[in-house]
Amino acid sequence: MIWPKGYRLQSRNYVIEKVLAAGGFGITYKARHLNRDEHFVIKTLHEYLKDEPDYPKYVKRFIKEAQLMVEVCKNPHPHIVRVFDFFQEGDTHCMVMDFIPGKSLWQRVQGEGALPEAEAVKYFQQIGEALQVVHEAELVHRDAHPKNIMFRGDQAILIDFGIAGKIVPVSISSKHGWNPAFAPLEQRKGFREPTVDIYTLSASLYYALTGKPPASSFDRKIDDVELVPPKRLVPSLSDHVNKAVLKGMDLDPLKRPKTMKEWLSLLQTPIPTTPVFHGYSATPGSPRYQKLKQFLAAGKWREADEETTRVMLQVAGKEEEGWLDGDSINQFPCEDLRQIDGLWVKYSNGQFGFSVQKRIWQECSEGDSETMIRLGDQVGWRRNEEWLDYSKLTFSRFAPPGHLPGGGRLIGCRTSVPSRLGFSSLASRLGKCNL
């Protein structure tokens, strides 16, 4: 029986408000807690599964996973839906989770179109790190598709845990045991390894970047349907992100990355294989950069960004003006640029730095006046076609590649919006300094 609106669970003070979703394995309800006057999600196994011969196995697995998720959530992860409670209502087992009122990735793309690369990569780094935690708890989500990725502000949250189990019932596997566009072929047989989540997350990233669901693994395998590379649909897409998607969606699970950490490394901006510093150490001897080094080593990204501005203005003799004009950039000492960039690249593991921004600038450049806008979209300095104020930049390791050092407070203008000529001058100077 599906619980109707107004049904009060006898063993807890929850009142059902509505059914949120009913899938192949479970039903989720929106419920209000009477004492706390808060909304929660309650998930149960589907009633008709009781007719399945393996139903006791599903219940056992559901209980085990719910208990494990409660343990995981004792140290809450910012990108995993919180599980608060697990109880039994009659002979029905119930898992109580956080209610997230925002849109899902599916709804957002359907309503607004594909996401900019930098924004999509940021969200999928968040979800990928969440799945790392799940895998370390010996769980596999098996359903990390766009409808199970929700947004709370600018944070992506993975929802819908704990119902799949190790064995997919034969009677429902072809209809409900997987999401065809986003699941690997082996999932039809109940395959339960981290590589399942890697495929599903890669397929979901494909959708976020292109606005189109990818060809299903079934069609690719049985009918030899081509998986169109996302870069063919979005020519501006970075090569390494395109590769991460395709590698994660390999039909052969043995050819995919073995761990989520390995897949996440493919999403990161590649670190140049040729020497970057040309004889200069990334750890400068000058006391001028010791404070910058300390901030970066401690992961204090905003303090490091502000220190970068301070020291560059000092080097250029532009402390009174508070910004660098074209001449200042063109004459900025190469050794100082190498040391500043080297520290950012080293302590961000290749995620941040002027040399990273230069590479992205070159990828975005099509010889027109829109290059700066494309760069801003790519590195996350723009949102919803508007330049972000400095205070709204993302000072964390979850920021897109090239996001820091931040914006145009320093480079080429007096506002928080970087100028095209100013950044072009910086890119040119970096090239002359072999960065």
**pLDDT of the residue at 282:** 39
Largest CA distance in the chain: 78
Residue 295 shares a structural domain with residue 257: no
For tokens 């179109």, the residue is 113
Alpha-carbon gap, residue 185 to 253, rounded angstroms: 9
- What CATH number is attached to the domain comprising 43? 3.30.200.20
Residue 145 shares a structural domain with residue 115: yes
Residue 250 shares a structural domain with residue 302: no
Is the pLDDT reported for residue 170 higher than 60? no
Alpha-carbon gap, residue 18 to 63, rounded angstroms: 24
**Does residue 333 lie in a domain region?**
yes
Q: Which range has the worst mean pLDDT, 99-108, 209-218, 239-248, 264-273? A: 264-273
Q: Which stretches of 19-174 are DSSP H helices?
A: 55-72, 105-112, 117-136, 170-173
Is the pLDDT reported for residue 165 higher than 70? no
**Does residue 277 lie in a domain region?**
no
Q: For 155-172, b where at least 16 C-beta lie within 10 A, e where not — what string?
A: ebbbbbbbbbbebbbeeb
**Does residue 413 lie in a domain region?**
yes
Average pLDDT over residues 194-219: 96
Give the number of domains in the chain.
3
**pLDDT tens track for 345-385:** 888 888 899 988 888 888 887 767 788 888 888 888 888 88
**Does residue 384 lie in a domain region?**
yes
**pLDDT of the residue at 278:** 35
**pLDDT of the residue at 409:** 56
**Does residue 7 lie in a domain region?**
no
**pLDDT of the residue at 12:** 83
HSE-up of 92 (CA within 13 Å, CB side)? 22
Residue 132 shares a structural domain with residue 226: yes
Last residue of a domain, one of 47, 66, 98: 98
For tokens 């006057």, the residue is 37
Last residue of a domain, one of 47, 70, 98: 98
Residue 119 shares a structural domain with residue 201: yes
Query: What pTM was computed for the model?
Result: 0.59
Q: Return the amino acid letter for 410.
A: L
Range of the domain at 33: 14-98
